[in-house]
Amino acid sequence: MNILNCAECEEKLSDYIEQSLADAERRAVQLHLHSCRSCEELLSGMMDVIAAGRDFPVYAPPAWLASRIVANTPAAVPSLRSRLAALWQSLGEPRTALAIFTAAIVLGWVGGGTVREAVFNRAESVVSCAYDHAIRSYYRSPVVIELHAKIDELMENS
């Protein structure tokens, strides 16, 4: 049988308490415990720790805690699908549908082609401004300037 020293015995004490050692190991631990007062006391202390853990007090949380948690839980953010469904549903409601219909009639009567043209012109000017800005930024950027300089230099050398 394997003779254990104190450190080896100490490593196996939890398994010994929980009866999960193989027969040979269990006998080796028992043999050591019979001959070692210190390890025997350690075993007893560990069993006290386990017993104290089982009897550890269970405290009731304050009565208001659950309510506070629920009150502080943010409302769930609805998914895109459910938002679209809600929008579709609202469009189908008679009051909304009537409002859209009336607005379309009024705009068509007051503005007609003029409104459409104004909106189109405004959009076109915004897009062309953005395009000009992008092109200017591109040609003024240091990297592009340097690249162009290098290309010119290479072309001159060749």
Partner 1 sequence: MGTIDAELLARCRNGDHAAWDMVVRQHHHRVYNFAYRYNGRFDEAEDLTQEIFLKVYRTLHTYKPELGAFETWMMRVSRNCIIDHYRKLKTERRQTDSLEGEHEQVAETGNRFANPAEVLDQRELSERVHGALLRLSEDLREVLILRDLEGFAYEEIVEIVRVPIGTVKSRINRGRVEMAKMLRKEI
Our finding on whether 69 is near partner 1 (CB under 8 A) is yes
148 Rama class: left (phi>0) / alpha (psi -120 to 50) / beta? alpha
Our finding on whether 80 is near partner 1 (CB under 8 A) is no
Our finding on whether 19 is near partner 1 (CB under 8 A) is no
Listed ranges 8-16, 91-99, 120-128, 137-145: which one lies at the site for partner 1 (CB under 8 A): 8-16
Least Å distance, CB 32 to partner 1, is 15
Our finding on whether 52 is near partner 1 (CB under 8 A) is yes
Long-range contacts of 23-32 (CB under 8 A, 24+ apart): 27/1, 28/1, 28/2, 28/3, 28/4, 29/4, 31/1, 31/3, 31/4, 32/3, 32/4, 32/5, 32/6, 32/8
Residues 148 and 139: their CA atoms lie apart, in Å, by 10
70 or 110: whose CB is closer to partner 1? 70
Q: Are 29 and 12 in contact (CB under 8 A)?
A: yes
Our finding on whether 42 is near partner 1 (CB under 8 A) is yes
Our finding on whether 124 is near partner 1 (CB under 8 A) is no
Q: Footprint of partner 1 on this chain (CB under 8 A)?
A: 10-15, 41-42, 45-46, 48-50, 52-62, 65-66, 68-70, 72-73, 75-76, 78
